[in-house]
Amino acid sequence: MTPGHVPVLAEEVVSMLAPAPGSLQIDATVGGGGHTERILAATDPDGRLLGLDADGAAIARVRARLGPRFGDRLHLRRANFRELADVAPTEGFGSVDGCFFDLGLSSFQLADADRGFGFRTGGPLDMRFDASRGMPAADLLPTLDATELTALFRRFGEEPFAGRIARAIVEARRSARIETAEELAALVERVTPSRAPGRRRVHPATRVFQALRIAVNEELDALEEGLAAALDLLRPGGRLVVLSYHSLEDRIVKRFFQAERRGCVCPPEAPICVCGRSPRVRLVTPKGLVPGDAEIARNPRARSARLRAAERLAA
């Protein structure tokens, strides 16, 4: 395992995905490669895995670490999982037995001083997974007024002090741009109560950073597209497994699974089904799995994780 990288719910992920020898698997978010390695090991000797990541550095690290061991069983492609429908078939994964999404940041991304994901890295406030696309967070902040910033922090961060933080950002940028993650974290810490409810274990800027990262990378839209594409790629009996870390992501996953389990989209008052949609999945984890106390003690970043899994039906 890569030093400093601890995959969350590692055994549970493999159990829910149920990879078998010879199977075709997709890891839509290779990150540090911890889950990738375990999934490939479970498919020995001839299973293959397609690993995606929008972060080119992640792809390079996993290729260097796992390539020598797994050879041509490991296919890596720099791509966002919203591109899954196009990328998978071109790589020979048009019909697969399992697909896994880990929606968290890797330890490498948090520690990268050039990316601005962490609070104390001192680097530029970028936050893009793919640095060749989109607008860095430092460029996004000046384009939004206080009302728009408040809405962003509330919608994507569920931040209770969104208005106060937004007004402080607007005031601060009259003197100078907010260029680094450290500057933004210090500003948020300065204007929010130090002992606010629910903030004992996390930095006060956690929700603001989450909101900006989601906005910069269009994460929630990408997740909806990626889940739909993954389900279309699954063979009957194949598993879709998703590890999320905050309520916005988990809500999308939960609703997607419930809708595909239900099938019919006719209004409740309709006497009979006329849409013709059949259920496409059965839930493997109706309520989801969460880490135990022992894992959280070993890896505090696991504390907010929730694992959900569904199995593709023959419909």
Mean pLDDT along residues 162-169: 97
Query: Could you give the residue ranges of the DSSP H alpha helices within 130-180?
Result: 137-140, 146-157, 162-172
Instruction: Tell me the pLDDT band of 133, cut-offs 50, 70 and 90.
Output: confident
For the domain spanning 109-217, the CATH number is 1.10.150.170
Give the pTM. Answer: 0.87
Listed by start position, the domains of the chain span 10-106+219-312, 109-217
What are 137's two structure tokens? 């967070």
pLDDT for residue 195 is more than 80: no
CA 256 to chain CA centroid, nearest Å: 15
**pLDDT value, residue 118:** 60
Cβ-contact 280, 231 below 8 angstroms: yes
For the domain spanning 10-106+219-312, the CATH number is 3.40.50.150
For 14-51, the pLDDT digits (tens) are 999 999 999 999 999 999 999 999 999 999 999 999 99
Mean pLDDT along residues 173-177: 93
SS3 163: helix
For 212-254, strand residue ranges (E) read: 234-244
**pLDDT value, residue 116:** 47
For 289-309, the pLDDT digits (tens) are 999 999 999 988 888 999 999
**pLDDT value, residue 315:** 60
